[in-house]
């Protein structure tokens, strides 16, 4: 494909339009993960209502981006990727944002002021996985499938790591925590964090489907 043909193809399929929106969505995801990491590393005496509001606002921004992508799918005839793949990718990224918001929402609702090492570790993994999703978007639209495959593998490794952290944390929680209410609170927070990493892995499933289709 020569340069002129490439420009025409990009224009015809509205490649830049969709890649720009997915870039915004992925950047917003990383921003949310950074706020999550900030929350779990706060000092005990520090409230985080302002950070919860930031997460809430960014999750709404993500919803708007997802809605815009869906509108484009309804209005545009030619797309750079298969329509079901675009829909699945937008939905997958939105699911990650939802679970991050859920985790921080539970921390705020339960008035958590002490974050265990596993919670902090899961927050780190979420940020790493979201950063990999962000790095994957330009590779997806420039057809660099080799580099994209490496990212997919890394995110799957993060999922395995998160599972290990999660199950060890649950085992410790059930063996050491005598306060039933506190146990339930921390179990739900850990579950939301682990689910966030699982949702990141689900995004890689969409990447793999797109790569196989090519």
Task: Supply the pLDDT for residue 81.
Answer: 87
Is the Cβ–Cβ distance between 210 and 80 less than 8 Å? no
CA 145/CA 136 separation, integer angstroms = 10
Task: Supply the pLDDT for residue 6.
Answer: 42
Segment-wise mean pLDDT, segments of 10 residues, the chain, 214 residues: 41 76 97 97 79 96 96 86 93 98 95 92 98 96 90 97 97 92 95 98 94 73
Q: State the residue for tokens 């797109």.
A: 210
CA 167/CA 150 separation, integer angstroms = 26
Q: State the residue for tokens 């997802």.
A: 66
CA 205/CA 201 separation, integer angstroms = 7
- Residues in Cβ contact with 210 at an 8 Å cutoff, skipping those fewer than 6 apart: 81, 82, 85, 89, 140
92, exposed or middle or buried, with CB in 10 Å at 0-12, 13-18, 19+?
buried
Cα atoms in the Cβ-side hemisphere of radius 13 Å centred on 168: 12
Task: Supply the pLDDT for residue 213.
Answer: 67
Task: Supply the pLDDT for residue 7.
Answer: 39
Q: Which domains does the chain have, with CATH numbers?
A: 15-213 (1.20.58.220)
């Amino acid at each position: 494909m020569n340069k002129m043909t490439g420009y025409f193809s990009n224009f015809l399929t509205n490649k830049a339009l969709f890649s720009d929106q997915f870039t915004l969505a992925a950047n917003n995801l990383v921003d949310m993960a950074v706020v999550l990491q900030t929350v779990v590393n706060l000092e005990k005496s520090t409230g985080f209502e302002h950070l919860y509001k930031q997460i809430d606002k960014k999750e709404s921004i993500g919803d708007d981006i997802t809605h815009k992508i869906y509108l484009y799918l309804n209005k545009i005839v030619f797309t750079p990727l298969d329509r079901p793949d675009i829909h699945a990718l937008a939905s997958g990224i939105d699911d990650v944002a939802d679970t991050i918001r859920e985790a921080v929402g539970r921390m705020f609702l339960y008035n958590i002021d002490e974050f265990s090492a596993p919670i902090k570790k899961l927050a780190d993994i979420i940020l790493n996985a979201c950063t990999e999703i962000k790095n994957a978007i330009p590779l997806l639209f420039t057809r660099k499938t080799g580099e994209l495959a490496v990212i997919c593998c890394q995110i799957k490794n993060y999922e395995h790591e998160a599972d290990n952290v999660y199950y060890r944390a649950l085992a410790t929680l059930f063996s050491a925590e005598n306060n039933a209410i506190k146990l339930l609170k921390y179990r739900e927070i850990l579950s939301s964090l682990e689910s966030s990493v699982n949702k990141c892995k689900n995004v890689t499933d969409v990447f793999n489907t797109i790569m196989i289709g090519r």
